[in-house]
Structure 1
Amino acid sequence: MTAADLHTLAGAYAVWALDEDERRAFEAHLDQCESCRTEVGEFQATAARLAQATAETPPPAMKQQVLRRAALVRHDPPEVQLPAPRSHRAAPVRRAQAFILAASVAAAAALGGVAVWQYQDAHDAHQQAVQAEAHAQQIAAVLAAPDARTVSGTVNDTTRAVVVESRSQNRAVFLTPGLPALPADKVYQLWYDDAGTMRPAGLVPPGTANQTVLLTGALGPARGMGITVEPAGGSPRPTSAPIALMAFPTT
């Protein structure tokens, strides 16, 4: 593959459409080519905006209909095999009647418990759906903002990443095709860089490729962002040197 060929791969690399050999060759080329680094960052930001612009939110009526039906579904009560009553002996009949009554009470209690569980489960699902929709809308607002600006960088010299920041939205979004896996007791943490002071900005969910992460908190005075490896759950301040630092555009 010639250098001229490598220059044509920026768009495919930005949307993670290269095979492993092409990706390695192009990433080695990126270390030496400023124009390709800029082009990749622009392609990735554009792809993210197009993805958000074409996303469709399900109609509210559909969501309510699904949740309502989930709450109304009833489970069949357990089948109880009862001994056949013998009419010529009163004591077994009374015992059978008492057993039936007890089984009926137990079944009613079980069904009541199932109804409560189903209602709570549907309520939780609804809350999660509302939160996820609000989160997606915040990301879309940053990516589509007229003043959105993009900066790209490399994490651990191996993985490309992009940050889109908007002063009008006062937020920033981090995009990556997937960071290298960490041990179970470690996590990638994002930080706002306030003139050298690192401010916590959220964690990168582990084990997921093609991630789009809305940084936690307001952009404020931040002039860049950083990434560190921290103990699981994150840290109030960095415990290790940043594995990536990306300065926001100044103009």
Structure 2
Amino acid sequence: MSTLDLHRLTGAHALHALPDDENVTFERHLSRCEPCREEAAELRATAARLGLAAATTPSPALREHVLRRITTVRQEVPGTTDGALPVHAGRRARLLSRWVLAACLAATAALGGTAVWEHQRAEDAGERARRAAGTADEIAAVLAAPDARTRAARLGGGATGAVVVSRELDRAVFVVSGMTRPPGGRVYQLWFDDFGRMRPAGLMDPGRNDQVVLLRGAVDGASGMGITVEPEGGSRAPTTGPVALMTLPA
């Protein structure tokens, strides 16, 4: 598989549509290719954003049909026969890939909005449902905001993350994929970085590798966000060094 072929796999990787052998090869490529890392993280955030837009029940064959059609879409740059692309052609190929991916993600959105994960169980099922619905609405509002901006980054342990910020709503959403689960009795805690002072911003689900989390509280001019490993229930201030630090998009 050529490097050019690998650059085209960001969309399929974001949709978890790669066969195991190709996924292993592409993960190795991601460790060396920053543009692909950033694009894959941004596309996962886009998938989550589109996933929130629909909750219709598709036919069982829809996913297989979409993935089969992907293989028939032309992505070669006209006039290119080898693995090397001039700068302008590379940009054109990247744009074409985004158009193809957008169509695939639109179809994926009909698969039920799987990007929003259920929060911790509550004893009262009705209350849990109301809370989950309210959180989903807030996440959707941030992701769909006209001023929403995304910053993607590679996290430790092979995970990738993206933070989406709406300054108008003063809220932020964190999308993560491939996060290693914390040790027993511990949890990942999110923080707003107020120019060096860390402010609690909620907890991640310790049982999920992939999730979308609404950061608790207002952005309120924060410069970035961080993640630490804390005792169950969280801490008022970080008790360990950061697992990850990310600058918020302007």
Question: Residue 54 of structure 1: SS of its match in structure 2?
Answer: coil
TM-score between the two structures when normalised by the length of structure 2: 0.68
Q: Give the whole-Å Cα distance in 2 for the aligned partners of 1:24 and 1:237.
A: 38
Select the structure that is richer in helix: 1
Per the TM alignment, residue 20 of structure 1 is displaced from its structure 2 partner at its CA by 4.2
Give the Cα separation in 1 of the matches to 2:213 and 2:136. 10
Task: State which drifts further: 134-143 or 209-218.
Answer: 209-218
Q: 1:170 to 1:184 in 2, by over 3 A?
A: same
1:5 maps to 5
Partner of 1:33: 33
Max Rg structure: 1
Question: Whole-Å Cα distance in 1 between the matches of residues 26 and 204 of structure 2?
Answer: 25
Distance 1:162 1:186 in 2: 23
CA distance in 1, matches of 2:20, 2:225: 28
* 2:152–2:161 CA contact under 8 A, matched in 1: yes
> Which residues of structure 1 form unaligned runs of 5+?
57-122
The TM-score normalised by the length of structure 1 is 0.67
Q: In structure 2, what is the Cα distance between the partners aligned to 1:21 and 1:241?
A: 35
Give the AA of the match of 1:40.
Answer: A
Higher relative contact order at CA 8 Å, sep ≥6: structure 1 or structure 2?
Answer: 2
2:134 and 2:142 map into 1 onto residues whose CA distance is 13
Structure 2 residue aligned with 1:213:
213
178-187 vs 22-31, which moves further: 22-31
Which residue is 2:124 aligned to? 124
Q: Provide the rounded CA distance (Å) in 1 between the counterparts of 2:127 and 2:212.
A: 21
Quote the Cα distance in structure 2 between the aligned partners of 1:135 and 1:178.
Answer: 22
Q: Look up the SS of the partner of 1:131 in the other structure.
A: helix
2:180 is matched by which residue type in structure 1?
P
* Residue matched to 1:230: 230
- Give the distance between the partners of 2:18 and 2:243, measured in 1 at CA: 25
**Is the CA contact (8 Å cut-off) linking 2:181 and 2:208 kept in structure 1?**
no
Partner of 1:143: 143
SS in 2 for 1:180: coil
Deviation of residue 212 (structure 1)?
A: 1.0
Question: Once the 2 structures are TM-superposed, how far is the Cα of residue 179 of structure 1 from its aligned partner?
Answer: 1.7
Kept in 2, the 8 Å contact 1:184–1:232? The answer is no
Q: How does 1:181-220 map to 2 (within 5 A)?
A: 181-220=181-220
* TM alignment of 1:143-182, pairs within 5 A: 143-182=143-182
Deviation at 1:237, TM superposition (A): 1.1
% identity of equivalent residues:
53
The 2-side partners of 1:216 and 1:188 are apart by 14
Contact kept in structure 1, 2:38 and 2:153, CA below 8 Å: no
- Cα deviation per residue 1:121-164 (whole Å; 9 max; x = unaligned)? xx933322222211110000001001111111122141111211
In the TM superposition, residue 178 of structure 1 has moved relative to its aligned partner by: 4.1
Separation (CA, whole Å) in 2 of partners of 1:196 and 1:210: 28
User: For the residues of structure 2 that align with 1:165 and 1:153, how far apart are their CA atoms?
Assistant: 14
RMSD, aligned CA? 1.9
Residues 54-100 of structure 1: CA deviation (Å, up to 9, x unaligned)? 136xxxxxxxxxxxxxxxxxxxxxxxxxxxxxxxxxxxxxxxxxxxx
**Whole-Å separation in 1 of the counterparts to 2:20 and 2:154:** 17
Query: Which range moved further: 134-143 or 157-166?
Result: 157-166
Given that residues 12 and 18 in structure 2 are in contact (C-alpha distance below 8 angstroms), is that contact kept between their aligned partners in structure 1? yes
Seen in structure 2, the aligned counterparts of structure 1 residues 189 and 21 have a Cα distance that, compared at 3 Å, is farther
Residues 70-109 of structure 1 correspond to what in structure 2 (within 5 A)?
none
Alignment of 1:43 onto 2:18: no
Q: Does the CA contact (< 8 Å) of 1:189 and 1:204 recur in 2? A: yes
Deviation at 1:37, TM superposition (A): 2.5
Tell me the matched-pair count: 184
DSSP-derived class of the 2:124 partner: helix
Deviation at 1:8, TM superposition (A): 1.0
